[in-house]
Amino acid sequence: MALVLTEEQSMLRDSARGLISDKAPVSHLRHLRDSKDPIGFSREFWHSFAEMGFAGLLVPEEFGGSGLGYVEAGVVMEEIGRTLMPSPFLATSVVAASALNRGGNAAQKSEYLPKIASGSLLATLAVDEGAKHRPLQTSLQAVRAGNGFKLSGAKALVVDGHVADLVIVAARTAGSAGERDGLTLFLVNPKAKGVAIERTIMVDAHNAARIELANVEVNADSVLGEVDQGAALLDGVLDIGRGAVAAEMVGLSEEVFNRTVEYLKNRKQFGKLIGEFQALQHRAAELYVDIEITRAATMKALQALDADVTKAASSIAVAKARAGTTATRAVQEGVQMHGGMGMTDQFDIGFFMKRARVCEELFGDANYHTEQLARARGY
Amino acid sequence: MSESKTSETETADLETFRNETRAWLEANCPPEMRKPAISDADVFWGGRNAKFSSEPQRIWFERMRDKGWTVPDWPKEYGGGRLSAAEHKVLRAEMGRIGARPPLSSFGIWMLGPALLKYGNDAQKKEHLPKIAAGEIRWCQGYSEPNAGSDLASLQTRAESDGDDFIITGQKIWTSYANYADWIFCLVRTDPAAKKHDGISFILFDMTSKGVSTKPILLISGYSPFCETFFDGVRVPKSHVVGTVNRGWDVAKYLLQHERAMISGMGERGVGRPLGQIAADSVGTDTLGRLDDAMLRGKIASFDVDEAALAACAERAVDLAKAGQAHPAFSSAMKYYGTELNKRRYEILMSAGGVDALEWESERSRHGARPRAWLRTKANSIEGGTTEVMLGIVAKRILDLPGA
């Protein structure tokens, strides 16, 4: 598989770019933030997104979706990254749709996937509990009760958790924190008794929530995949999410870089364009190379997911680690090279820095994924 | 619809090619040739005086040569294998899968060949390309001069017209393996009055010509891979100029792109055991079986991330070129990153090796193989255009920054 977009993928990119840059430029995010929008994204835009087939991009055709792959999902995420559009696409259309499609039984799939594809159901995955992403440390308890389970515990950084109609909760049905065995995924109705949701306003003005479950009763049909054997399903779903976030970070990095290079070509000091200074030229060139390498690694990882999700872990670790360090470098250089302007709220560059910080934590930061690669290589 | 059908057929053909290639390599690549090259003797460079260091090396070279796979994507008439871009990629992947060594290493393949294919006339292609493919002639590159390093276009070696010949006088430096080479491709000044980029020609001549001499340069590694090369009135027919007289800079630049792509790929990517395990052999492991030096382990892991990412980028660069979407200056980006990464690799290897990596002469240390290789890598970011020159090219030609 060549590491370039096919003609169809290029067309998808063009249509996503056209729609997003037209209807949801960075000013869209700014407006949502400044107006303290009660949900933090535009439902109206989400519906037009769904009408164009994006909401069901990964949903198989038999359930009303487009049946496309992870490279295509990455193409859309990259465009989202360029304008920082807050959108349910990541949590609902990529992560939750993949969890249901990969782990769901026939009844679960036919209940939820068509609604995701039509844009009428928002869903999310709740994994993290502590300050850092450590999926195996899951300790939210699910104890058997009658025909089902009772769930108790707390989750953090649940993307779109404040608006989700369905929350996929990683819980521990056996064993103890740190063990692979004993993890189970549950489909939880956020309106169920005992579920408390607190919307968390984040540094990046995107959407997330903390969720507490206190003896929440779910029946046996709510289990997604197999009881106690959820780790493999979770690994795959998380890797899909990581690939998508890496693609968002590539788009974000490239956009912030393009804006910075434009600034170097227009800003004058000491009677010169600052882009004439070799100190800045070389830093810009290094950053360009970093972004190109990260773009290739991300594309490779998304192709690996399309080939076989269960064999993509190392490629994903490389891509997410690279995306984290590259985006961090891109936004830092972006602010620095914009000088005092880069520090103002009025200027957009700060939004990129804030979003990059959240993307870095989402589904594991560069340190986490670098560590995963070291373990995979046995040292 | 017909398009997708075509691509399905192509995919099926490619799978057939993959299976055939895999079977052929299994049957024809000697087991000894499936291990990474450790010393220079493991690399076959060809040439008039070439000797095989082992029987498997000879067998492997001859089988690949006969198949046209020393230069898989060259035309058949020049000894190539006429593989498509996709097939060539499959061949590389299949060779990588079993760790097969390149059968022939050659500046003729990596550098001169592509330039001849683009700029050479028919006679030059017929004369030189088949001998490159068959490893009969070993080439060296006469580019740098004592006063023309990063500023290569200021070179002063002059070629004066004398009837049908040029008379070449001057000095080159950092000529890789000039003392082993049969022929040289060389930049000479044919018009001293023109602006510096405009008076240069690209010319080929035999290193046994009267007036050519070489002197190896001893490097900090203790080895002498480079020479000073002297031309004292060397007579070369004008028909040996590649491309147009005084337009040699175009050929030189084109060739440099291939050279940079080659150097950026020189690191030992993905070959053999993971770097972290090599380090663990000497450093030791903790109770969890992890490398017992947390800082070094972190550096190695970061290196592995960057190395894997660069491999993807190298693969993408090839794919972009085949798709006609590559920026011509992108090889400078790859050259910069690949060489800096290889230097990082050897800093890690030296740190991991500790005291053992300091021995310079013992049998135990294979005559100081590691410290010598470490020192050799320091030239990576100087030869073929320094890191600073590469970044300048990216800034100017790709980013279009002012005044660069």
> Which pLDDT band, with edges at 50, 70 and 90, does B321 fall under?
confident
Do the Cβ atoms of B304 and A377 come within 8 Å? yes
> Which pLDDT band, with edges at 50, 70 and 90, does A11 fall under?
very high
Residue A272 in contact with partner chain B when CB distance is under 8 A: yes
> Does the pLDDT at position B350 exceed 80?
yes
Paired tokens of A289: 């190379």
Do the Cβ atoms of A379 and B313 come within 8 Å? no
* Structure confidence at residue B259 (pLDDT): 81
* Structure confidence at residue A76 (pLDDT): 98
Contacts of A299 in chain B (CB under 8 A): 312, 316
Paired tokens of A231: 């780790």
Evaluate whether B227 touches B215 at the Cβ level (below 8 Å).
yes
Residues 6+ apart with CB under 8 A from A64: A56, A113, A114, A117, A118
Residue A275 in contact with partner chain B when CB distance is under 8 A: yes
* Distance of residue B17 Cα from the nearest chain A Cα, in angstroms: 15
Do the Cβ atoms of A299 and B312 come within 8 Å? yes
Do the Cβ atoms of B400 and A300 come within 8 Å? no
For residues B197-217, give the mean pLDDT: 97
> Which pLDDT band, with edges at 50, 70 and 90, does B264 fall under?
low
For residues A268-280, give the mean pLDDT: 96
Compute the Cα dihedral for B110, B116, B122, B128 and give only its sign.
Answer: negative
* Distance of residue B219 Cα from the nearest chain A Cα, in angstroms: 29
Cα separation, B298 vs B307, whole angstroms: 14
Helices (H), B82-150: 85-98, 107, 113-119, 122-133
Compute the Cα dihedral for A176, A177, A183, A189 and give only its sign.
Answer: positive
pLDDT in tens, A122-131: 999 999 999 9
> Does the pLDDT at position B8 exceed 90?
no
> Does the pLDDT at position B85 exceed 90?
no
> Does the pLDDT at position B36 exceed 80?
no
Evaluate whether A132 touches A368 at the Cβ level (below 8 Å).
yes
pLDDT in tens, A217-254: 999 999 999 999 999 999 999 999 999 999 999 999 99
* Structure confidence at residue B6 (pLDDT): 54
pTM as predicted: 0.89
| DSSP letter assigned to residue B30 | -
The residue length of chain A stands at: 379
pLDDT in tens, B46-81: 999 999 999 999 999 999 999 999 999 999 999 999
Contacts of A4 in chain B (CB under 8 A): 316, 319-320, 323, 325
- ipTM of predicted complex: 0.95
Closest CA to A120 of A61, A166, A158: A166
Contacts of B88 in chain A (CB under 8 A): none
For residues B153-159, give the mean pLDDT: 96
pLDDT in tens, A130-150: 999 999 999 999 999 999 999
> Does the pLDDT at position B327 exceed 60?
yes
Residue in A8, A269, A293 to test binding to B, most B beta-carbons within 10 Å: A293
* Structure confidence at residue B4 (pLDDT): 44
Q: Which residues pair with B148 in a beta bridge?
A: B145
| DSSP letter assigned to residue A178 | T
Q: Indicate the average pLDDT of chain A.
A: 97
